[in-house]
Amino acid sequence: MELARARDMMVESQVRTADVTDPRIIHAMRTLPRERFMPAHKRALAYADIEVDVAPGRSLMRPRDLAKLIQSLAPQANERALEIAGATGYGAAILASMCREVVTLDPDPDLSFAAHAALESCALTNAKTVSTAAIDGWKDEGPYDLILLNGSAEIVPDAWLAQLAPGGRLGVIVRQGAAGSARIYTRGAEAVAYRTMFDAAPPVATGLAKPPTFAF
């Protein structure tokens, strides 16, 4: 009961106050038990307004940032989605409640296993997990109508854009130093363009930092 109250508080004080109005997102976040996507020792933090570490150097996005990014992508019921660097799969769970099919990938096979167990416990049979490098995406089941990055990136790999279907959207928070902004990339008939949606700066996901440059 306490976790259910905390879930309601998260929606009311973090999500709805961040101008998230899509009733499908509100319903999913109000009903999906986020604590199942946390390590046992972190479950008390499941509904806190923070990025929660789920493994060394890995975290789930703040609920408000995730909700705003998904709302900006405007998922549709007949669409297929890919979540990149999904960690334990909470973002995939939200997408699975809104889309036809979801693939969530993570470079850490242990996190992919945890995501599979959490998604299965929520009876989300339209979501699957794979483990591979985030920078490569997952072309085997593409193209996708939606691609979502859990976390942020200093680079936007060409592979992700190549895996978008016509009209497909990529939601990614791009970090530039300490600051970051959410971008929605859309594949048009002839090119891919992006628009900036809101400011956020979650940690950079594994393998998505800019290569170091050397001055001589």
- 142-183 tens-digit pLDDT: 999 999 999 999 999 999 999 999 999 999 999 999 999 999
CA distance 20 to 71: 7
Calculate mean pLDDT across residues 119-130.
97
**pTM of the model as a whole:** 0.94
* pLDDT confidence band for 212 (50 / 70 / 90): confident
Pick the CATH number of 2-199 from 3.40.50.10490, 3.40.50.150, 3.40.30.10, 3.40.50.300: 3.40.50.150
Which of the four pLDDT bands, split at 50, 70 and 90, describes residue 216? low
Residues 6 or more apart whose Cβ sits within 8 Å of residue 4: none
Under the banding of pLDDT at 50, 70 and 90, the label for residue 129 is very high
**CA nearest neighbour of 124 among 110, 140, 104:** 104
pLDDT for the residue 26: 97
- Is residue 101 within 8 A of residue 126, CB to CB? The reply is yes
CB of 214 closer than 8 Å to CB of 94: no
pLDDT at residue 211 above 90? no
Q: What pLDDT is stored for residue 214 in this prediction?
A: 61
204 secondary structure, DSSP code: B
Percent of the chain with pLDDT over 90: 94
The pLDDT assigned to 1 comes to 56
pLDDT at 215: 59
